[in-house]
Amino acid sequence: MRAMKRIVILISGRGSNMRSIIEAAAAEQWPARIAAVISNKADASGLAFAEAAGIPTKVIEHRAFAERAQFDVALSAEIDRHSPDLVVLAGFMRVLTPAFVQHYAGRLLNIHPSLLPSFPGLATHRQALEAGVKFHGATVHFVTAELDHGPIVDQACVPVMHNDTEATLAERVLAQEHMLYPRAVREFIEGVYHLAHGRVIRRDADRH
Ligand code: GRF
């Protein structure tokens, strides 16, 4: 039997992407387990779902640290207690130091609610509406030191309707995120793709 892979998920808030990953892992019987969910905010509502699912949770308040680097050192010490094969950022709203990112090179994924490289940063749905794009979406990417710029693993696309608001557009994108992210995490666990020399290499090379 193959060894179970270990996943650590980082959240800051509602954790709906975390939830979609936890649910898919259970429903599809992934050869992996969610070893821990860590939040930088004590009031992250996603923590309750993880606890109810029997997953160890931990809060490391970034506010308790004077420097970003100190927070990152404490965070990675907690992550590394679980010896993860993969670290998943799921609505984790902190910019990470290059040292942190380097430590998890090739095993740190993020989901960003836009079709990168369009609209990095915050308020992506507002950015999309202001730009007048006809298509918007979400991107799963490996995390690098440059915010929202890492090698792209997969994307999902939605149409932008003429009467969309930030809220209606966010909802349409989020529904896609909840399919996109579990699939990307599962494929990583199964070794379908990996990062090599800054590029995503896929085993199923004929996939678009
Ligand atoms: C998602 O839109 C995700 O793409 C972005 O932050 C949001 C988090 O939502 N990074 P949730 O906490 O997963 O519900």
Task: For residue range 32-51, list pLDDT tens digits in order.
Answer: 999 999 999 999 999 999 99
Q: Which of 188, 77, 92 is nearest to 142 (CA)?
A: 188
How many whole angstroms separate alpha carbon 88 and alpha carbon 90? 6
- 163 Cα to the center of ligand 1, angstroms: 23
- 204 Cα to the center of ligand 1, angstroms: 28
**Which is the closest atom of ligand 1 to the Cα of 15?**
12
Query: Tokens for 192?
Result: 């379908």
CB 43 within 8 A of CB 119: no
Find tokens 């779902």 and name the residue: 49
Pairing relationship of beta strands 108-112 and 135-142 according to DSSP bridges = antiparallel
Query: Tokens for 5?
Result: 């892979």
Bridge partners, residue 141, by sequence: 110, 152
Query: Is 149 annotated in the active site?
Result: no
How many whole angstroms separate alpha carbon 97 and alpha carbon 83? 20
Dump pLDDT digits (tens) for 82-134. 999 999 999 999 989 999 999 999 999 999 999 999 999 999 999 999 999 99
Q: What is the pLDDT of residue 1?
A: 52
- 114 Cα to the center of ligand 1, angstroms: 11
- 208 Cα to the center of ligand 1, angstroms: 25
CB of 84 closer than 6 A to ligand 1? no
* Residues 26-40: b if buried by 16+ CB within 10 A, e if exposed: eeeebebebbbbbbb
CB 75 within 8 A of CB 100: yes
Distances (CA, A) of 201 to 65, 106, 165, 177: 37, 11, 37, 22
**Which is the closest atom of ligand 1 to the Cα of 16?**
14
CB of 16 closer than 6 A to ligand 1? yes
CB 123 within 8 A of CB 114: no
Dump pLDDT digits (tens) for 143-156. 999 889 999 999 99
Distances (CA, A) of 47 to 24, 54, 75: 17, 11, 16
The yes-or-no verdict on residue 8 having pLDDT over 70 is: yes
pLDDT band at 204 (very low <50, low <70, confident <90, very high): confident
Pick the catalytic residue from 82, 112, 136, 141.
112
**Which is the closest atom of ligand 1 to the Cα of 20?**
13
Of 10, 11, 12, 17, best ligand 1 pocket probe by most atoms within 8 Å of the beta carbon: 17
CB of 182 closer than 6 A to ligand 1? no
Report yes or no on whether pTM surpasses 0.95.
Answer: yes
Query: Tokens for 65?
Result: 């640290």
**Which is the closest atom of ligand 1 to the Cα of 89?**
10
